[in-house]
Amino acid sequence: MDYKSSLIQDGNPMENLEKQLICPICLEMFTKPVVILPCQHNLCRKCANDIFQAANPYWTGRVGSAAMSGGRFRCPSCRHEVIMDRHGVYGLQRNLLVENIIDIYKQECSSRPLQKGSHPMCKEHEDEKINIYCLTCEVPTCSMCKVFGAHKACEVAPLQSVFQGQKTELSNCISMLVAGNDRVQTIITQLEDSCRVTKENSHQVKEELSQKFDVLYAILDEKKSELLQRITREQEEKLGFLEALIQQYREQLDKSTKLVETAIQSLDETGGAIFLLSAKQLIRSIVEASKGCQLGKIEQGFENMDYFTLDLEHIADTLRTIDFGTDEEEEEFIEEEEDHEEEESTEGKEEGHQ
């Protein structure tokens, strides 16, 4: 609290000093003892205790609570959070400087003459001070208004009693509002924590889900590679057999072509003796070549590869049913499957006995 700079800026130091000595809770001059908060703002200890109790309704006090934490509240001036020890507000340090300034101020004010205009005057009776409060009209007024004026039929009370009552009521309202603000701030903090935890949990389950699907992808890729290799092996075996058979037929064709050429040349021979010397053997070779045409053959449908066809519709249907579920639902599903298998097994045994 910078009293010196505030006093220099104002032309009336005493009035400005009074403003600096007003408690932000009760709106009156600080009542000793005065406590100083860690944020350097000051409060009456009674006011500090009021807002502390409002913010910590379950705090039992100092008696019998040596092992208990002190709770917390927020400074009404700057909203700084004040964390207490087990002594509560009684653990806060007293501001003796402010208390001494209050004593000096009160002594100075008591020694100064009352200045005209320091007390509000009645508008109807300009020479009368406002010294009573009309409870009926809920306005402050003067004694002359009660005796002769507009409030003579109204119920009135001493100004000081109503003043103290309304200040107490306002102080209580401030304490409730401060406590309410603290509760709202606590809720905001809890909601922010919930947002953070929700994001963390979402990230975690996303990672777990991605890992599980990666495992499925790996299984499918592995199975795909295995099946493709089986098709490739079958293809290579069939192609090897067909190529070998083609080679045999080509060799046979070459032999037959050469025999045909030789036979044609023999037919062109005009000499009977020469023709007969080779014709017998040539005829025998042609007959043998004709018998050799009975080479291997392929069965009908040899090139068919339909037996490698997969029916994955039931697996696709199962994959489409993938969804999030609780452990209880999974257990119920397993139990239903086991019951179904037991029923099928029982039916099979009965049919066997029959």
* pLDDT tens per residue, range 171-200: 888 888 888 888 888 899 899 999 999 999
Average pLDDT over residues 61-76: 61
Which residue did the predictor score with more confidence, 347 or 167? 167
Mean pLDDT of the chain: 80
pLDDT band at residue 10 under the 50/70/90 scheme: very low
Cα(78)–Cα(218) distance, integer angstroms:
59
Positive or negative, the Cα torsion across 26, 29, 34, 37? positive
Whether pLDDT at 82 is above 90: no
Interval 204-239: pLDDT, tens: 999 999 999 999 999 999 999 999 999 999 999 999
CA dist., res. 29 & res. 102, Å (int): 8
Name the phi and psi angles at 26, rounded to 5: -85, -10
Q: Where are the domains of the chain?
A: 13-57+69-111
**Looking at residue 89, what DSSP letter applies?**
G
Q: Assess whether pLDDT exceeds 80 at residue 15.
A: no
Write out 3-59 in H/E/C secondary structure: HHHHHHHCCCHHHHHHHHCECCCCCCECCCCEEECCCCCEEEHHHHHHHHHHHCCCC
Per-residue b or e along 245-257, where b marks 16 or more CB atoms closer than 10 Å to that residue's CB: eeeeeeeeeeeee
Laid out side by side, the sheet with 34-36 consists of: 42-44, 34-36, 93-94
Q: Where is 179: in which H helix or E strand?
A: helix 159-267
The b-or-e profile of 135-167 (16+ CB within 10 A means b, else e) is eeeeebbbbebbeebebeebebeebeebeeeee
- pLDDT (average), residues 16-37: 82
The strand ranges marked E within the chain are 34-36, 42-44, 72-74, 81-83, 93-94, 132-134, 139-141, 156-158
- Predicted confidence band at 349 (pLDDT cuts at 50, 70, 90)? low
When pLDDT is averaged across residues 46-52 and rounded to a whole number, the result is 85
pLDDT in tens, 83-127: 888 888 888 888 888 888 888 888 877 666 545 446 788 887 777
Q: What span, in angstroms and rounded, lies between the C-alpha atoms of 344 and 352?
A: 12
As a whole number of angstroms, the distance between CA 265 and CA 289 comes to: 18
Percent share of the chain, pLDDT over 90: 17
Of 30-34, 146-150, 292-296, 331-335, the range with the highest mean pLDDT is 30-34
**Cβ atoms 226, 232 nearer than 8 A:** no
Tell me which of 92 and 285 has the higher pLDDT.
Answer: 92
- State residue 290's pLDDT score: 74
HEC states along 248-287?
Answer: HHHHHHHHHHHHHHHHHHHHCCCCHHHHHHHHHHHHHHHH
Query: Is pTM beyond 0.75 here?
Result: no
Q: How far apart, in whole angstroms, are the C-alpha atoms of residue 156 and residue 133?
A: 5
Tell me the CATH class for 13-57+69-111. alpha beta
